[in-house]
């Protein structure tokens, strides 16, 4: 509970100046600067194309916030509430800096521009094609070795089998702008985030939670150019919101679907599973949360189990035919470059951190969705920093999870106070709720 109070206190201080509008202005101005710099200097062409569009969206949002600040100053005596306008602006800005670039780049790519998608998009679409033609989204080690040397990296598909679903539209209907995997990433993301926000209590911090999941440059850029992490994150946030409101069955479905697409969701599955056990909701949560990822593994295991192991385990652990290009200069990567044995040192630190977090999870299990979000956020941040191969973009996971924790806490307390599930819901005067 102490961590939640600290996070909530930080957000309160951010929202104190101008009712949150000052922090909004800083966010949009810095984001506009980041987008402009990206458009002018990035060596990745999809990123430059994103920046050229997003800079205008962030700039327009900053101008709107300036107007809001002026109106707030003029109407301070009348007590005008700008929280609803701030939320609307966040959604509109997301449409301008993420969804619009997705459509533009998808249309340009369908028109013949080969520099309008990151490698992740191509890999996911290849997964869909392989699933349709062979029954498994993965290539075997021998099939990857048979590819030309410069194509072997794209031969690896280091995702869970469920990710191939996003590649099915192009595999079935052919090359069109609307069959681009990013379009379907965006559709699922919009649906999941809209549902999650609808479940949250109306509170000023909710705007900051929406911004963390949508308009932060690391989130918007990722969706526009690659996109595969964004629906996974959105499903995890939805799972937490569902758990906060006592809908553990549907929470299991959401996080199970996320884990069926990417391993990054497994820590969220583990933490929510502990929450479900502690609060007595495990019978509703566990079947889908564990069953969906396992069910997704069945076809690849039956068709070619070794190809699954090659793509999902050997390649991420550095034992593939080629090495992963994920080399952001975090401590784990820098340590892994120390010779000899640097990689084993980094892996040892990662395992030690995982064991420590696991022990903490067992000794002081979360009893609310907000505490679970904090566990997930700090745990994933530690993992990202210590992984031998990682990307800067993965920071979007802890950033969103930690920002959502305070709002989930308010929603959890509201749900507890009004719950009709008297058999498994703790009362507000139960001090166990406040031991985190």
Rounded Cα–Cα distance for residues 311 and 305 (Å): 10
Rounded Cα–Cα distance for residues 391 and 51 (Å): 19
User: Cβ(267)–Cβ(273) under 8 Å?
Assistant: no
Q: Where does residue 216 fall: left (phi above 0), alpha (psi -120 to 50 degrees), or beta otherwise?
A: beta
Q: What is the pTM of this model?
A: 0.88
User: Cβ(152)–Cβ(78) under 8 Å?
Assistant: no
Q: Please give the chain's pLDDT, 436 residues, in tens.
A: 455 445 555 555 656 656 788 889 999 999 999 999 999 999 999 999 999 999 999 999 999 999 988 887 776 544 455 677 888 999 999 999 999 999 999 999 999 998 999 999 999 999 999 999 999 999 999 999 999 988 898 899 999 999 999 999 999 999 999 999 999 999 999 999 999 999 987 665 788 889 999 999 999 999 999 889 999 999 999 999 999 999 999 999 999 999 999 998 999 999 999 999 999 999 999 999 999 999 999 999 999 999 999 999 888 877 888 877 766 778 877 887 787 777 788 888 888 888 888 898 889 999 999 999 999 999 999 988 888 877 788 889 999 999 999 888 766 544 544 444 433 333 333 333 333 3
Sign of the Cα torsion 42, 43, 48, 50 reads negative
Rounded Cα–Cα distance for residues 139 and 362 (Å): 38
Rounded Cα–Cα distance for residues 189 and 285 (Å): 22
User: Cβ(280)–Cβ(367) under 8 Å?
Assistant: no
Backbone angles phi, psi at 390, to 5 degrees: -155, 170
Q: Is the peptide bond before 86 cis (omega within 30 degrees of 0)?
A: no
Backbone angles phi, psi at 327, to 5 degrees: -140, 50
Backbone angles phi, psi at 175, to 5 degrees: -85, 105
Extents of the domains making up the chain: 2-434
For tokens 């941040």, the residue is 381
For tokens 């308010």, the residue is 410
Query: 390 pairs with which residues across the strands?
Result: 327
């Amino acid at each position: 509970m102490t961590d939640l109070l600290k996070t909530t206190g930080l957000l309160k201080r951010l929202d104190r100046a101008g009712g949150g509008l000052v922090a909004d202005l800083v966010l949009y101005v810095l984001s506009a600067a980041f987008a402009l710099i990206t458009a002018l200097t990035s060596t990745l062409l999809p990123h430059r194309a994103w920046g050229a569009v997003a800079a205008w969206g962030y700039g327009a949002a900053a101008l709107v916030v300036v107007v809001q600040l002026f109106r707030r100053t003029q109407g301070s005596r009348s007590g005008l509430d700008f929280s609803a306008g701030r939320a609307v602006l966040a959604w509109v800005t997301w449409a301008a800096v993420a969804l619009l670039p997705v459509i533009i780049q998808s249309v340009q790519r369908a028109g013949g521009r080969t520099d309008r998608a990151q490698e992740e998009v191509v890999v996911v679409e290849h997964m869909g094609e392989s699933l349709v033609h062979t029954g498994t989204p993965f290539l075997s080690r021998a099939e990857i070795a048979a590819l030309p040397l410069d194509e072997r990296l794209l031969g690896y598909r280091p995702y869970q089998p469920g990710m191939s679903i996003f590649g099915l539209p192009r595999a079935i209907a052919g090359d069109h702008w609307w069959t681009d995997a990013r379009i379907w990433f965006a559709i699922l993301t919009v649906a999941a985030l809209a549902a999650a926000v609808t479940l949250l209590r109306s509170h000023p911090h909710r705007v900051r939670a929406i911004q963390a999941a949508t308009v932060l440059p690391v989130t918007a850029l990722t969706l526009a150019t690659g996109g595969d992490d964004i629906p996974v994150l959105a499903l995890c946030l939805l799972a937490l919101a569902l758990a906060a409101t006592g809908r553990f069955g549907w929470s299991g479905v959401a996080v199970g679907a996320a884990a069926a697409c990417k391993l990054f969701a497994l820590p969220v599955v583990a933490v929510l599973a502990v929450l479900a056990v502690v609060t007595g909701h495990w019978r509703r949560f566990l079947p889908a949360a564990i069953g969906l990822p396992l069910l997704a593994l069945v076809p690849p295991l039956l068709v070619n189990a070794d190809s699954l192991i090659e793509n999902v385990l050997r390649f991420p652990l550095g034992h593939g035919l080629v090495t992963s290009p994920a080399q952001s200069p975090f401590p784990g990567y820098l340590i892994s470059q120390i010779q000899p044995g640097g990689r084993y040192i980094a892996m040892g630190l990662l395992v030690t951190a995982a064991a420590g977090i696991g022990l903490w999870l067992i000794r002081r299990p979360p009893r609310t969705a907000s505490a679970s979000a904090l566990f997930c956020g700090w745990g994933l941040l530690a993992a990202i920093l210590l992984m031998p191969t990682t990307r800067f973009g993965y920071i979007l996971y802890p950033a969103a999870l930690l920002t959502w924790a305070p709002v989930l806490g308010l929603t959890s307390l509201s749900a507890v106070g009004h719950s009709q599930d008297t058999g498994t819901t703790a009362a507000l005067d139960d001090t166990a709720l406040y031991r985190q």
